[in-house]
């Protein structure tokens, strides 16, 4: 199969996916998920995807935990279940300083990161994402560092990866990168939730649609706020980076909780018992519903919630019974457009 054919195949597989699996929290918390429990959750994701007739989508990262813990979790899982690898698309983020979390975008730095990811994960990586772009490397008049993307494209051409995803980019950058590297691109990962809908307002989602790129939506549950399980800062365990985020301060939560109260009273509690859904299911259904919006006709919106247990995965990946009606969707959008959360995505106390 040629490189072009491989990329086309990955694109087709992504278009079939409704919900992907964000695996960061399995290894990136102060107390990582116990291995047997994590394997049970991973198995459940694959089981659900296969039942729905598509591949599972794993979102992993070189820097998701100390000593490549996230990559090793995936490596060890497929050592135990090698026959399941064919049912999964792996999207891996790298090209970032694992301690400082700053971009490492020089050509040789990206190559080093990619080689590390390949070595540590031990299985084929379908999609590689430079987690952040270093705009200090931009040449005059460029809006993105070409050497970063060129490094990944060279690895794709060499058969070391399947394709490229972008991460944390804006509309102008998406358009420019698509012009130069569009043949390699299969998706864009950016934040989207009812709590943080910036990409719908700043042209980023439109650029994805204009370039026919699916949107991999991270933090679709507002980093946990939209589950209704975090009402005060002490609900977050020590060692969890969210504990230091401004919008998880007690003062901010008192305000930010208003969107949760709205969803509960206006959506969840107004459904008949046979169609009852959880707060998390409403939040995920809202993200998926944008796939059918006339505003973004060429983009699919794929939320990637976490899920540290098989039970939580089953809740998050239930799609057929948790769809929003057009009326519910419009009601939520009207509220979201009038709501301003306290705290930025990476604004610390």
Q: Name the β-bridge partners of 56.
A: 88
CA-wise closest residue to 287 among 171, 192, 170, 189: 192
The mean predicted confidence, pLDDT, of the chain is 96
Tokens of 177: 């990168």
For residue 162, the SS3 value is: strand
Question: How far are the Cα atoms of 240, 296, 329 from residue 335, in angstroms, in the given order?
Answer: 30, 20, 10
Q: Is the pLDDT of residue 281 over 90?
A: yes
Report the pLDDT value the prediction gives residue 348, as an integer from 0 to 100.
Answer: 67
Q: From 185, 217, 148, 179, select the one nearest 10 (Cα to Cα).
A: 185
Q: Is 64 a catalytic residue?
A: yes
pLDDT of 226-252, one tens digit each?
999 988 888 888 777 787 788 888 888
Tell me the pLDDT tens digit for each residue of 294-307: 999 999 999 999 99
Check: CB of residue 173 under 8 Å from CB of residue 17: no
* Active-site residue, from 21, 64, 218, 296: 64
CATH number of the 1-221+290-318 domain: 3.20.20.100
* The pLDDT of residue 97: 94
Residue 100 dihedral angles phi and psi, to the nearest 5°: -85, -20
Pairing of strands 21-22, 88-94: unpaired
pLDDT of residue 41: 99
- Cβ atoms of residues 66 and 33 within 8 Å: no
Give which of 87, 179, 127 is closest to 7, Cα–Cα. Answer: 127
Tell me if 213 sits within 8 A of 192, measured CB to CB. no
Q: How far apart are CA 310 and CA 314, in angstroms?
A: 6
Q: In this predicted structure, what is the pLDDT of residue 247?
A: 82
The pLDDT score that the predictor gives to residue 232 is: 87
Q: Which of 308, 302, 306, 327 is nearest to 226 (CA)?
A: 306
How much of the chain, in percent, has pLDDT values that exceed 70? 100
Residue 35 has pLDDT above 80, yes or no: yes
- Where does residue 297 fall: left (phi above 0), alpha (psi -120 to 50 degrees), or beta otherwise? alpha
Q: Are 191 and 283 in contact (CB under 8 A)?
A: no
Q: Over the stretch 95-127, which tens digit does the pLDDT of each residue have?
A: 999 888 899 999 999 999 999 999 999 999 999
Token pair, residue 297, equals 């006709």
For position 234, what pLDDT does the model report? 84
Q: Cα 131–195–264 angle (5° rounding)?
A: 140
Judge whether residue 166 has pLDDT over 70: yes
pLDDT the model gives residue 13: 98
pTM exceeds cut of 0.85:
yes
Boundaries of every domain in the chain: 1-221+290-318
């Amino acid at each position: 199969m040629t490189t072009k054919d491989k990329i086309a195949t990955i694109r087709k597989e992504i278009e079939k996916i409704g919900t992907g699996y964000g695996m960061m929290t399995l290894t990136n918390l102060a107390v990582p998920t116990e291995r047997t429990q994590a394997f049970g959750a991973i198995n459940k994701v694959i089981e659900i995807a296969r039942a729905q007739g598509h591949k599972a989508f794993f979102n992993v990262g070189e820097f998701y935990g100390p000593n490549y813990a996230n990559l090793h979790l995936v490596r060890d899982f497929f050592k135990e279940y090698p026959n399941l690898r064919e049912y999964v698309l792996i999207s891996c983020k790298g090209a970032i300083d694992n301690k400082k979390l700053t971009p490492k975008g020089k050509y040789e730095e990206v190559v080093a990161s990619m080689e590390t990811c390949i070595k540590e994960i031990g299985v084929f990586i379908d999609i590689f994402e430079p987690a952040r772009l270093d705009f200090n490397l931009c040449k005059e008049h460029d809006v993105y560092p070409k050497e970063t993307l060129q490094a990944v494209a060279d690895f794709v051409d060499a058969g070391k990866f399947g394709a490229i995803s972008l991460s944390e980019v804006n509309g102008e950058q998406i358009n420019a990168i698509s012009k130069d590297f569009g043949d390699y691109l299969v998706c864009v990962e950016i934040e989207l939730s009812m709590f943080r809908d910036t990409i719908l307002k700043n042209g980023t989602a439109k650029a994805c649609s204009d370039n026919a790129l699916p949107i991999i939506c991270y933090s679709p549950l507002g980093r946990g706020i939209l589950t209704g399980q975090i009402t005060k800062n002490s609900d977050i365990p020590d060692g969890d980076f969210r504990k230091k985020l401004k919008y998880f301060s007690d003062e901010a939560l008192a305000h930010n909780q208003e969107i949760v109260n709205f969803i509960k009273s206006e959506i969840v509690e107004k459904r008949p018992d046979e169609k009852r859904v959880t707060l998390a299911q409403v939040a995920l259904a809202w993200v998926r519903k944008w796939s059918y919006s006339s505003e973004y006709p060429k983009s699919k919106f794929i939320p990637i919630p976490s899920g540290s247990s098989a039970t939580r995965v089953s809740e998050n990946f239930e799609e057929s019974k948790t769809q929003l009606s057009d009326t519910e969707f419009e009601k939520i959008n009207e509220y979201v457009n009038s709501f301003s959360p306290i705290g930025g995505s990476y604004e610390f106390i």
